[in-house]
Structure 1
């Protein structure tokens, strides 16, 4: 931002998105092509998170601690990280092994849960009743529609989507195969289909 006088980082979400995309691509290149963590055999996803989290990790107790929002935090609360990656990319990067299905669900929850939402209500300023007003107009409202429409996208996510960057990707690609027990395969048909044709399709 030093080349743009009067501009702050918060005013340029498009620059933030592009820089983050460059760093993300470099990180994926290190992992997949340079075998930074060894041979890549699993999925990769991006998450934006803080370096201090609620779970207590199995870390050595040290004398160092910090008071954050009234809570005393020590080394046990620091997310596992890689010093080389932090210095290389100058950003927060959590490094954890996904050794359970819960870990995978936790990762993909962020990119599959949809937009952030909020509940809001907009109404006109109340006017003082005049003596001539004897009736009040009642307008029906669709509360469910109003609730669903009350969503927002932060500027960083909006810039990311407008630039057409992937929200998530999985490597290697996985295809779900249909598996069934013998003589227990599912056969789909429409009510007006000929029964003989349906039986023939079932043989296939």
Structure 2
């Protein structure tokens, strides 16, 4: 007996085939046989079809989307900070935010070292693009821009879009065409958007490069998601006291992922030892009373060793920080109001500056309001000057109108 034949007999016995008539016959179970492999495969495909049609959205699985988002964020930090895709990083800060409806997103500010800073318009092209790519030479990038980086349509094409406020797009779309990268008068760049007749259909509207959100091709390729890249930080909206904890945020906090990070770290009243840190004193509004005057003293009195040291001037101890500030001449001739506003312009957005000015008018009784207005009007109105359709009179009217909310 040949060994191959003997092996076949042994295999048949092992499989439990005891009837000789069945040895060598292949029996196919039809899809109509309940529980058979073809029936189970058919049911699986039917179930997948139902899931695709009526199944879960990303918002339905915050546990998964939070972990995927964090993984992409960690990789983005690795690309920018360790692999230096934009150049050596001097400092960075990011904040993770959560929408009431929708997925997580992050705002990141990256400051490059001096030798690598983007200090002329000729360098913009290597970092930011704001055009529809060529479909033939870059088909994948073309698809990604359509999928993730097209704004709207809004304005006359869709006045009900969520970005419309007061009949205008809050993000200032559609942007103007520009043959070159230009440094705007307000410090914000005007990106290259050539009128090359390229258009794509988005929600039954033909959109040109005027509707493209600024992006970096490499990062768009890598992460396949909406990732807006600009050479200047965009306006930061006020964080309201009314809080809504979304499912995305709750899962992020449950997993104890970082909500923000900054490098080098900012420390308060801690002597520098090993790490490179940048010190600062917390801001305070005049409406906070003694806390504001304490900060005023800390900024002007050198080497204070205690609260009593700050309360003492010319061998006399005062009972309040306001009295101590007044005795040192820190409250004379609106100087404190001017210094308060001047300092705030270095880190506050126009909306917050207008709110601070309204607080000063209400609680601090400035002697020369016109001087304060003239000195800081440019900062109060900066966001309104960015509207391309606004002239000087429109900017003045919108700035004054915005104070109605605070006064």
Would you say same fold, with TM above 0.5? yes
Q: Which residue of 1 aligns with 2:76?
A: 27
Q: Quote the Cα distance in structure 2 between the aligned partners of 1:38 and 1:81.
A: 17
- Residue 247 of structure 2, aligned match among 139, 155, 172: 155
Residues 38-65 of structure 1 deviation map (CA, whole Å, 9 limit, x = unaligned): 0112424256397345332532223223
Deviation at 1:14, TM superposition (A): 0.8
Assess if the C-alpha contact under 8 Å between 1:52 and 1:79 holds in 2. Answer: yes
TM superposition outliers: structure 1 runs of 4+ over 6 Å: 178-181
**Number of paired residues?**
151
The aligned runs of 1:31-70 (5 Å cut-off) are 31-45=80-94, 48=105, 51-53=149-151, 54-55=171-172, 56=175, 58=191, 59-66=193-200
* Secondary structure at the counterpart of residue 79 of structure 2: helix
Go from structure 1 to structure 2 and tell me whether the alpha carbon gap of 1:74 and 1:176 turns closer, same or farther (over 3 Å shift). same
Q: Which residue of 2 aligns with 1:77?
A: 211
Q: Quote the Cα distance in structure 2 between the aligned partners of 1:26 and 1:194.
A: 53
Q: Would you say 1:185 and 2:185 are equivalent positions?
A: no
Residues 126-173 of structure 1 deviation map (CA, whole Å, 9 limit, x = unaligned): xxxxxxxxxxxxxxxxxxxxxxxxx42222122112211122222222
Higher RCO structure, 1 or 2 (CA under 8 Å, sep 6+): 1
TM-score by length of 2: 0.31
Residues 2-36 of structure 1 deviation map (CA, whole Å, 9 limit, x = unaligned): xxx75623321111000110110011011111111
Q: Would you say 1:172 and 2:264 are equivalent positions?
A: yes
* Secondary structure at the counterpart of residue 24 of structure 1: helix
Gaps of 5+ in 1: 118-150
Q: Quote the Cα distance in structure 2 between the aligned partners of 1:70 and 1:171.
A: 45
Q: Quote the Cα distance in structure 1 between the aligned partners of 2:261 and 2:281.
A: 20
Gaps of 5+ in 2: 1-47, 98-104, 107-147, 152-170, 176-189, 267-278, 283-294, 319-323, 325-407
Which structure has the bigger radius of gyration?
Answer: 2
- Residue 18 of structure 1, aligned match among 56, 60, 67: 67
Residues 155-201 of structure 1 deviation map (CA, whole Å, 9 limit, x = unaligned): 212211221112222222232169999x94287747xx8986969xx
Q: Which residue of 1 aligns with 2:222?
A: 88
Deviation at 1:71, TM superposition (A): 6.5
> Higher helix share goes to which structure?
2
Assess if the C-alpha contact under 8 Å between 1:189 and 1:198 holds in 2. Answer: no
Taking only aligned residues, the RMSD between alpha carbons, in angstroms, comes to 4.0
* Secondary structure at the counterpart of residue 41 of structure 1: strand
Deviation at 1:94, TM superposition (A): 1.5
Q: Quote the Cα distance in structure 1 between the aligned partners of 2:216 and 2:307.
A: 55
> Higher strand share goes to which structure?
2
* Secondary structure at the counterpart of residue 166 of structure 1: coil
Q: Quote the Cα distance in structure 1 between the aligned partners of 2:203 and 2:225.
A: 22
TM-score by length of 1: 0.56
